[in-house]
């Protein structure tokens, strides 16, 4: 079974992480990630940052070249 972030994380955790995403200029991606059901049972205990990064790099942007992925990773480090 797969879950969305809303099903895994509390409202308080999501709001706090949303603020971090705004600062790192990931709000559009955060909004998209919030409702996508991709979190599998074995990933339910990941931190919210790890879950977001996993989706952003390995699901949403898997086809980008290394240079663009490096820029995303740099921005993720700011979260």
Contact 48, 12 (CB under 8 A): no
Query: How is the chain split into domains, by residue range?
Result: 2-76
Name the nearest CA neighbour of 55 among 40, 72, 76, 33.
Answer: 33
Tell me how far CA of residue 50 lies from CA of 45, 53, 63, in angstroms.
10, 5, 19
4-61 residue pLDDT tens: 999 999 999 999 999 999 999 999 999 999 999 999 988 889 999 999 999 999 888 8
Which tens digits make up the pLDDT trace of 11-23? 999 999 999 999 9
């Amino acid at each position: 079974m797969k879950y969305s972030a809303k099903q895994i994380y509390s409202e308080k955790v999501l709001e706090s992480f949303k603020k971090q995403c705004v600062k790192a200029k990931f709000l559009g991606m955060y909004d998209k990630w919030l409702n996508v059901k991709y979190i599998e049972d074995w990933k339910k205990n990941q931190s919210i940052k790890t879950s977001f990064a996993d989706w952003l790099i390995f699901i949403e942007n898997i086809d980008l070249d290394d240079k663009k992925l490096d820029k995303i990773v740099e921005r993720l480090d700011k979260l």
